[in-house]
Amino acid sequence: MYKASPKRKEIVEKSKSVREKEIKQNSNFFAKHLKRIYPITLQRSTSSSFSLSSISLSLSQNSTDSVSTDSNSTLEQKISLALGLISSPHRREIFVPKSIPQQLCQDFNSSDEPKRCNWITKKSDEVYVMFHDQQWGVPVYDDNLLFEFLAMSGMLMDYNWTEILKRKEHFREAFCEFDPNRVAKMGEKEIAEIASNKAIMLQESRVRCIVDNAKCITKVVNEFGSFSSFVWGFMDYKPIINKFKYSRNVPLRSPKAEIISKDMIKRGFRFVGPVIVHSFMQAAGLTIDHLVDCFRHGDCVSLAERPWRHI
């Protein structure tokens, strides 16, 4: 059997010691910089794996056009780029090396703003944005709130959502928090006072329509137990979950809105055409019409998939 000389053995052991020292130094470097960070596109989880390959995936998805580094890029620049695109959940500032184009920096700074339906723009009024983010598309089961959305949807014949929402508190005060029983009992004096209120800006015919619809709701409640049961009964107690990618695909009316409109008109409701009813369905979450890439789509779908809970 071959036996290595003492001198050769000493050289091999020394070489092995040097390699182990280099490996330890490299691992300490990465541990120091990576143990406190995780990719922007991932959630911090005890079960999720983390590696530089996942950072590369994040880079390729977010900077296909902006960061096409040439063949002369060094390993140091690439690592700096990866670290620059990763932010601590407790900090908003993002480090970006000088070699990264300014456009990429702007893209990542704007990523703090959630993706919304594209009819919400930078010029959209705050009250409209808040309505989109908090109410529009959330399934509603409360009779008073359903009545409120039906009334406001009818106002779309004269105003847009922003104008209506800015006067919402005035409407609630004038129409007794949209309690159908109280509104149904309003007489000529109350109707005239509301119509003459400059803060509300509703024609007398519109005010009468809301009062008449309140009377219809009280009849529906006697028959179905609640206005909520009546409305959601058309939906088989489950919202319609749409997956529209573009705003042009979102309809102004729908077959279900046609059916509900026809039934409501037979019962004496006014200003409840298919377009108004569909707007009502969208606002009250009977149909989920947020675009699929909007951050609210998933939230509303999660609420819609819960077992129906009538209050």
Answer yes or no: is 300 a known binding residue: no
Task: Provide CB contacts within 8 A for 105, sequence distance 6+.
Answer: 94, 96
Answer yes or no: is 297 a known binding residue: no
Q: Which two tokens stand for residue 185?
A: 């009992």
Q: Which of 275, 278, 284 is nearest to 304 (CA)?
A: 284
Length of the chain: 311
Residue 176, sorted as left (phi over 0), alpha (psi -120 to 50) or beta, turns out to be left
Q: Quick check: 195 and 175 in contact, CB under 8 A?
A: no
Q: Quick check: 132 and 285 in contact, CB under 8 A?
A: no
Q: Which two tokens stand for residue 293?
A: 């890439």
Answer yes or no: is 132 a known binding residue: yes
Answer yes or no: is 105 a known binding residue: no
Q: List binding-site positions.
A: 117, 132, 290, 294
Q: List binding-site positions for Zn(2+).
A: 117, 132, 290, 294
